[in-house]
Amino acid sequence: MIQLLGSQTSPSGAAIRTETSLQLEEALEGMDPVDQEVLALRHFEELTNSEVAEVLGIGQNAASMRYVRALDRLKGVLANLPEFGN
């Protein structure tokens, strides 16, 4: 989760970072498992689109579409959270 957040060093910044991280984690947990997996493979495992396609046993175009759709869904979920929505 931390990779998706910027660094903050003050005590209040650290508290905000922790809260934001928890909100991000909750948002991800509330998503479809396929979306979670695609985002985890791309962002946390740092796999390429080709590697994600291979892991999921799907074509490269399908992996790319799943990734874009998962990002859109995550953006929609995060827009409803105070720390992310504007």
Q: Which CATH number fits domain 33-86: 2.30.40, 1.10.10, 1.10.3470, 2.60.40?
A: 1.10.10
Dihedral sign computed on CA atoms, order 7, 10, 16, 22: positive
Radius of gyration for the chain, computed over Cα atoms and rounded to the nearest angstrom:
14
Total-model pTM: 0.68
Comparing 28 with 8, which gets the higher pLDDT?
28
What does the DSSP 8-state code read for residue 43?
A: I
Residue 33: HSE in the Cβ half-sphere, 13 Å Cα cutoff? 1
- pLDDT at residue 61, rounded to an integer: 95
> Which tens digits make up the pLDDT trace of 61-70?
999 999 999 9
Count of residues in the chain: 86
| Euclidean distance between CA atoms 48 and 64, whole angstroms | 10
The pLDDT value given to residue 86: 56
Higher pLDDT, 75 or 2: 75
Using one digit for the tens of pLDDT, what is the confidence trace for 9-59? 677 777 777 887 888 888 888 888 888 999 999 988 999 999 999 999 999
SS3 string, 46-79, reads CCCHHHHHHHHCCCHHHHHHHHHHHHHHHHHHHH
